[in-house]
Amino acid sequence: MALKITYATMSADNEELNASFEKAVVDVQSRLGQSHGVIVNGEHRRDRDLYEEVSPIDRDILVGRYAQATNDDVDDAISAASVFAPEWEAWGWEARRDLMLTAADIMEEQIFEISALMSYEIGKSRLESLGDMAETVEFFRYYARQITDHDGFVTPLNSLGATETNTSVLRPYGVWAVISPFNFPMALAAGPSIGALLTGNTVIVKPSNTGALMALEFYRVMDEAGLPDGALHILTGAGVVIGEHMTHHDDVDGITFTGSYPVGMHLLQTASEKRPKPVSCEMGGKNPVIVTRSADLDLATQGIVRGAFGLSGQKCSATSRVYVEHSVHDELVDKLVDATARIQVGSPFDRSSFMGPLIERGVVTRFEKAVDEVRSGGGTILVGGNVLTDGDLTRGHFVEPTVVTAPLDSWIWSEELFIPLVAVTGVSGLEEGIALSNDTEFGLTAGLFSTDEREIDKWFGEIEAGVAYVNRAAGATTGAWPDIQSFGGWKGSGTSGAGGGGPWYLRQYMREQSRTLIR
């Protein structure tokens, strides 16, 4: 691509990019509506119950039919992964790294086609889909650089004599389970899998049924790159059926889960009951922004709008709460309402659309309940609040981007909603803003708009979030990128303490072995 895409890319006005994406939208139509099997040890098992995934853009677009794995499929995949694990480790980190870099090249060559499929599947805009894909390519390359820079995580230690050699070696756990959500269907299925595979683990991926096509595309790319059958397995199916069996299986040695707080906490508390094993959970957020009187209000407006309404608010990092110093509150709200009213909602295949559909009807219902809560609870809908049913939009799940005020005891301020709705209120200053920001079980991302260095230093030191942005127009709380911003949560938002795309991420997929050799 002539233009490098990241989540911070501000517009899709590059003609080469648009032409390539729009051609791909047509070219991939023949790949929609196909039936896909569960993939166990290279075998595509198609004789299963099928889940039909319909595009959120248009109910008449069938994205695909996915075989629903059984517990026997889970057992077979784990068995195959266990058997192959020693051989995969014996490949050595250099060979595994080279395969990952080959896969990165293949994925980059196909980035427009896979991005177009993602837009059909999830309803992402072209920039969001291309960003998801480009992030995945960077995961391959960044983690490859990390393992190379650390010489495979083999570290010489001191010795007590000339005949003694001591070494710290980080080695894989064995079989790793990855459970991925719908909203970043490639990056959040592939990113953890790349980390686990590169460090020598074999991997079993259970994607969301909405988003499963991207996990299957990830497998296809890995297969083209030459990944052996035993190293990666894809189990499509309902989490309540196979996810529970997989994560609590005796022979699964580690878990990466991205999803809701209740499910993540359940896994954290139960998956290690029989024996200790790492359970890495990313469990969402209720991400605050503070705007002080010293802020550039135009910058703040742009950052809040992009953070709140990108991917229709369906990001764990989405801007959800805004605390504005009283002296600039009304001016900021006016700017925010005006900018929100100008957002184009529509098909992601329309280049003028910034916001596409919600993923399914149930999320539209959640949007309607949140709007009703504001209206009935003494709040105000400042802009938006409606489900869109004009023309072709009635065939999908489209709603208006929405800005509200509400009493602070409303659940609008505390529950993660995953919808394009942001609540705004006035505060006396930074101190009150920080206290309200931290008054949550979550701690994923947070934003500040201020030009006062003392305020910035105080905020960095006191905000309880794993990812903290100051004066970011490209997304007040969103848009982390590998090797640019590590992405991981504090408190109820995360368990590993090591952000994805950051310098400590690979460590969680390995355990240390201390080796002493005396000759």
Please give the positions annotated as active site. Answer: 282, 316
Residue of 53, 32, 31, 35 lying closest to 44 (CA atoms): 35
What's the half-sphere exposure (Cβ side, CA atoms, 13 Å) at 81? 34
Name the E strands within 120-247: 154-156, 164-172, 175-180, 202-207, 232-234
Measured CA to CA, the distance from residue 17 to residue 366 in angstroms comes to: 35
Q: How does DSSP classify residue 92?
A: -
Q: How many residues does the chain have?
A: 519
> How many helical (H) and strand (E) elements, i.e. helices and strands, does the chain have?
14, 22
What letter would DSSP give residue 500? Answer: B
Per-residue three-class SS string for 457-497: HHHHHHCCCCEEEECCCCCCCCCCCCCCCCECCEECCECCC
**CA 238 to CA 193: how far, in whole Å?**
19
401 CB neighbour count, 10 Å cutoff:
25
Distance in angstroms between the alpha carbons of the first and the last residue of the chain: 55
For the chain, the C-alpha Rg in angstroms (whole number) is 23
CA–CA gap between residue 262 and residue 424 (Å, rounded)? 27
Buried b (16+ CB within 10 A) or exposed e, 293-307: bbbebebbbbbbbbb
CA distance 67 to 84: 24
Nearest Cα neighbor of 130 from 16, 299, 226 is 16
Q: What 8-state DSSP symbol labels residue 441?
A: S
Residues pairing with 50 in the sheet: 67
Q: 254: helix, coil or strand?
A: strand
State how far the Cα of 112 lies from the Cα of 415, in Å rounded to an integer: 35
DSSP 301-363: HHHHHHHHHGGGG-STT-EEEEEEEHHHHHHHHHHHHHHHHT--BS-TTSTT-SB---SSHHH
Q: How far is CA 313 from CA 124, 149, 278, 286, 426, in A?
A: 11, 37, 30, 11, 22
d(C-alpha 206, C-alpha 237), whole Å: 7
C-alpha–C-alpha distance, residues 327 and 190, integer Å: 46
